C-alpha cells in the first residue's frame, strides 16, 4: 500500500461509509456544559495530551491514546486524526463525522470495505468482527495482506497489512484504518483498545 495513496485509501473508505451507513442527524451547534472543568480534564487524560487545542475535533469527543504512541490531527472534512507507534511500524487513521449510524448501515459499510480490501489481498476471505466499548459499537475486518508485496522488501512508506472498521457513538460515527508492517499482535490489540475507548463526554 503506497504512502501517497493513504489519503485516497481512507477517503474512499469514508465515502463507502457515508453512502450506506443510515446516518441520523446530530446537532453539532449545541454546547455541552459538561465539556468544561472536570470533563475537559478527563478528556486531556484520556488523550494523553496537555493542552486544550488538542481536544479533537470538538471538546466532547475523546479517545484514550496508549503510551508511546504519537497523535496528530487534520481538521478537514471529514475530520481525521492519526496515531502512530514509536517506531512508525503501525498507523491508525480515524475519520469522524457528526452523525450517528444505524447498525444496518454499519454492516453495509464494513461489507463494502471487506470487498475493497480483498481485491488486493492474499486472503481469499476476511472475517468481520464486532466490537464495543462503554460508549461505542462497530465492526472491523480481519487482517488483509497485500499480495503485491509478499516475499519482497517493502519500500519505505508502504504497508503490507491493513484492517478497516466503522463505528458509531451517541453523537458521532466514523471509520478507522490500521496500516502496519509488524507481526506483533500486541500492537493490534493496543490499537483496538484505543478504538474501543472512543466516547462522548456526557
- pLDDT for residue 171: 77
- pLDDT for residue 30: 33
- pLDDT for residue 182: 85
SS3 27: coil
Task: Flag residues of the chain having pLDDT under 70.
Answer: 1-60, 75-78, 201-202
pLDDT in tens, 47-97: 333 333 343 444 567 788 888 888 887 766 667 888 998 888 899 999 888
- pLDDT for residue 177: 95
**CA-to-CA separations, 13 to 6, 17, 174, in angstroms, rounded:** 11, 6, 10
- pLDDT for residue 123: 97
Contact between residue 181 and residue 161 where contact means Cβ atoms under 8 Å apart: yes
Helices (H), the chain: 6-20, 38-47, 103-118, 185-196
Verdict on whether the full-model pTM lies above 0.85:
no
Domain 3-200 fold is Protein Transport Mog1p; Chain A (3.40.1000)
Name the residue ranges covered by the structural domains of the chain: 3-200
Phi-psi category of residue 167: left, alpha or beta, with phi > 0 → left and psi -120 to 50 → alpha: beta
CA distance 190 to 36: 29
Amino acid at each position: 500500500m503506497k504512502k501517497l495513496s493513504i489519503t485516497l485509501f481512507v477517503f474512499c473508505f469514508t465515502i463507502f461509509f457515508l453512502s450506506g451507513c443510515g446516518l441520523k442527524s446530530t446537532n453539532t451547534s449545541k454546547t455541552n456544559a459538561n465539556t468544561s472543568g472536570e470533563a475537559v480534564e478527563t478528556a486531556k487524560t484520556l488523550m494523553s495530551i496537555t493542552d486544550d487545542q488538542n481536544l479533537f475535533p470538538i471538546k466532547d469527543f475523546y479517545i484514550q491514546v496508549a503510551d508511546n504512541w504519537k497523535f496528530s490531527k487534520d481538521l478537514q472534512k471529514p475530520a481525521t486524526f492519526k496515531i502512530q507507534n514509536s517506531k512508525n511500524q503501525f498507523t491508525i487513521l480515524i475519520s469522524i463525522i457528526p452523525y450517528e449510524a444505524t447498525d444496518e448501515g454499519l454492516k453495509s459499510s464494513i461489507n463494502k470495505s471487506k470487498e475493497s480490501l480483498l481485491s488486493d489481498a492474499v486472503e481469499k476471505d476476511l472475517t468481520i468482527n464486532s466490537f464495543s466499548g462503554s460508549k461505542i459499537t462497530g465492526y472491523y475486518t480481519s487482517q488483509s495482506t497485500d499480495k503485491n508485496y509478499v516475499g519482497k522488501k517493502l519500500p519505505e512508506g508502504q504497508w503490507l497489512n491493513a484492517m478497516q472498521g466503522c463505528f458509531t457513538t451517541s453523537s458521532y460515527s466514523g471509520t478507522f484504518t490500521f496500516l502496519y508492517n509488524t507481526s506483533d499482535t500486541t500492537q493490534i490489540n493496543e490499537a483496538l483498545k484505543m478504538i474501543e475507548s472512543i466516547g462522548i463526554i456526557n
